[in-house]
Amino acid sequence: MGPSALTPGELLAILLGTGSATTPVTEVAARLLEAGGGSLRRLAARPPAELMRVPGIGHAKGARLVAAFELAARITGEARSPRPRISDPADVARLLGPRLRDLEVEEFRLLALDSQSRVLREVLVTRGLLNSSLVHPREVFRPAIAEAAAGIIVVHNHPSGDPTPSAEDQAVTRQLVAAGRLLDVPVYDHVVIAGDRFVSFATAGLL
């Protein structure tokens, strides 16, 4: 059911890993939580020496706890980077072109988008030799579904330097578009990048 279903004590027990010779890890975690008055925030504010006074917490476990609390504090204080927004194929080329245009092998990538056309996640789906990169809808849509994407854009490069879609490119795109309709995750575009040029299936009327 995922980590959100666990209690604070269970999460602490996983972090500690083991208990002591006489005390199971769940009990050590419960005692640790009691030292913070039942609050993770108050527990994180305790000095390391105080944490190590809890039976079952030695130097190694104390250091692990302090590191985990510090990570949590840094995550909270870290500003979230703005997600790039895709409004046209040129945005796709600007985002992925620098990484794809000079490759000597073909890579097929996925951009999972939210309802505002912002990039939720970029995924390398396959990496092939020259023009022989095989793509299966399962590998494309699995990360899109995991991100609850509103739609996807697929992108690949042509090491030949010619962005003209091949017959294989068109066949793969038709397969992905059909799968997207079934899954209610539409394929917004397929962009082929070659050097400084690109071709958009959507713009070319090939979707």
Collapsing DSSP states into helix, strand and coil, what is residue 200? Answer: strand
Pairing of strands 187-194, 151-157: parallel
pLDDT for res 134: 67
Domains of the chain: 3-77 (1.10.150.20), 89-200 (3.40.140.10)
pLDDT for res 132: 44
pLDDT, block means (10 residues), the chain with 207 residues? 86 92 92 92 90 92 93 82 91 94 91 96 82 74 94 95 93 94 96 96 94
Distance CA 145, CA 183 (A): 9
Q: The tokens of 89 are what?
A: 């194929």
Rounded to 5 degrees, what are φ and ψ at 32? Answer: -65, -45
Residue partners of 150: CB distance under 8 A and separation at least 6:
113, 114, 115, 185
pLDDT for res 136: 86
pLDDT for res 81: 72
Residue partners of 15: CB distance under 8 A and separation at least 6:
64, 65, 68
Residue partners of 190: CB distance under 8 A and separation at least 6:
153, 154, 155, 156, 165, 169, 173, 176, 200, 201, 202, 206, 207
Contact in structure between 129 and 165 (CB atoms under 8 Å) = no
- Determine the residue type at 108: F
122 strand-pairing partners: 111
